[in-house]
Amino acid sequence: MKKTIGIFSTKQGHQSIAEAIKEKIEREAKDRYQVKIFYTKLLLELVYDSFYRLAPSALKFPYDLSIKIVEKDTELKKLVYYHFFQTTYKSSLQFVKKNQIDLAISCYFPFGPTLEKIQSKMGVPYLNIITDPRTIHPWQISPQAQSNFFFDQTAIANFHKQCQATVSGWFVGDKYEKNYDKEKVKQELKIKEDLVFLIVSGSEGSGAILKILPSLINCPKPLRVFVACGKNQALYQNVLGIKKSLASFGQSKALITPLSFTKDMRLYMQAADLIIGKAGPNTLFESVATLTPFFAITHMVQEEGNLDIIKEKHLGYVEEKAEMANKKLLEIINHPEQLKVFQKSLIDLKKYNQQSGKILIAKIDQIFQEQEAKII
């Protein structure tokens, strides 16, 4: 009989990694395991989403304050954890019982207290995925989990004494990791321009397109710019307005195309020569999987470490000051051959991340084997 694995997540910012984990388990395990995903709403969703779109840097103060709470105020820390528990326990327990979950995986930290309780009460082992590769909030760590999965050894450094830890790389969807022919993809998308940029501001960080507008107004060479707007209709309409305005500038050779929500985003990432946007981990590592350099022009407080990864691993560019970002983009437009220097680094990191599924399955197999040995 197949074992059933439950993944606990939220769709806001974590859906892609949850689905990637599901794909990798099903591919690696073949018919041994089945996977079901339970999604909850993002806690304080409306407040968080408003800052996420309009003023990402404004979250730095509450983020830093919450770290101090964990470190210094034991009673307040307990209160926060109790809130996480109260918010997620009842629905999670129903999901576990209804689907007869044999092992739980969390990729959204508020599930931690709940899954720890279910593990101790019902004997359902629990694995914890750390969903920030470098800037890791202490709330993400689960001392009771069978293992916490970190992006790399650097990420583990501050936490290895607090929990069971495994280095796994990042979990990226199979469709991004498949090999492809860039020219065939461009033909499929009817792209004629030699140079293609993809701006991935999406439903978050809608100021990205405005930030690099000067380089597009002054674009001296044919350039296709796709702007992924997601479900953000206001951004979509703004980009249409910018497209019309650019058409009135005779000197600009850039063509802007807004994209509504699409399940084929991987094709646009494959067609792109450069991906520009907020340094979110899933988008960053999806760009790595398609071997496309990344240009980070903004970030959230918990994504500061992602900027370090881009620099350390030679994955692209980091420039958050508008004037310097536009200067660098114009340089790339005039000399796109410079993008080739990132290929080896992108290939190496893609291979590193591709091991994540095998590492996770090895741990899952080990847990079930140990359970069976105890029964015997």
Give the domain ranges of the chain. 3-169+355-375, 175-352
> Can you give the pLDDT at residue 317?
98
Question: What SS3 class is residue 216?
Answer: helix
pLDDT tens digits for the chain (376 residues)?
899 999 999 998 899 999 999 999 999 998 899 999 999 986 655 444 544 454 555 566 566 666 666 666 577 778 888 889 999 999 999 999 999 999 999 999 999 999 999 999 999 999 999 999 999 988 899 999 999 999 999 999 888 788 999 999 999 999 999 999 999 999 999 999 999 999 996 555 456 667 887 888 878 899 999 999 888 888 888 888 888 887 776 678 889 999 988 889 999 999 999 999 999 999 999 999 999 999 999 888 888 999 999 999 999 999 999 999 999 999 999 999 999 999 999 999 999 999 999 999 999 999 999 998 887 6
> Can you give the pLDDT at residue 261?
86
d(CA 90, CA 179): 43
- Other CB atoms within 10 Å distance of the CB of residue 39: 16
> Can you give the pLDDT at residue 302?
85
> Can you give the pLDDT at residue 50?
45
**In sequence order, what E strands does 163-281 have?**
165-167, 196-199, 223-230, 254-260, 274-278
296 within 8 A of 318, measured Cβ to Cβ: yes
Q: At a CB cut-off of 8 Å and minimum separation 6, what does 117 contact?
A: 85, 89
DSSP 8-state assignment for residue 128: E
d(CA 342, CA 260): 29
Rg, C-alpha atoms of the chain:
22
Residue 85 amino acid letter: F
Question: Which CATH code fits 175-352?
Answer: 3.40.50.2000
Residue 372 amino acid letter: E
20 within 8 A of 107, measured Cβ to Cβ: no
Q: At a CB cut-off of 8 Å and minimum separation 6, what does 183 contact?
A: none
Alpha carbon separation from 240 to 58, 229, 325 (Å, rounded): 28, 11, 22
Alpha carbon separation from 310 to 6, 119, 279, 335 (Å, rounded): 32, 37, 9, 21
> Can you give the pLDDT at residue 235?
84
289 within 8 A of 176, measured Cβ to Cβ: yes
50 within 8 A of 206, measured Cβ to Cβ: no
Q: At a CB cut-off of 8 Å and minimum separation 6, what does 84 contact?
A: 43, 109, 110, 111, 112, 113, 114
Domains 3-169+355-375 and 175-352 share a fold: yes
Q: Which long-range contacts (CB under 8 A, 24 or more apart) does 245-254 make?
A: 246/216, 246/217, 249/217, 251/218, 251/220, 252/216, 252/217, 252/218, 252/219, 253/219, 253/220, 253/221, 253/222, 253/223, 254/216, 254/219, 254/223, 254/224, 254/225
Question: Which CATH code fits 3-169+355-375?
Answer: 3.40.50.2000
> Can you give the pLDDT at residue 324?
94
Residue 232 amino acid letter: N
**47-77 burial string, b = 16+ CB within 10 Å, else e?**
ebeebbbeebeebeeeeeebeebbeeeeeeb
Residue 277 amino acid letter: G
- Other CB atoms within 10 Å distance of the CB of residue 87: 17
Q: What pTM was computed for the model?
A: 0.91
Two structure tokens written together for 30: 């073949």
Closest CA to 222 of 185, 248, 197: 197
Q: Are strands 316-318 and 196-199 parallel, antiparallel or unpaired?
A: unpaired
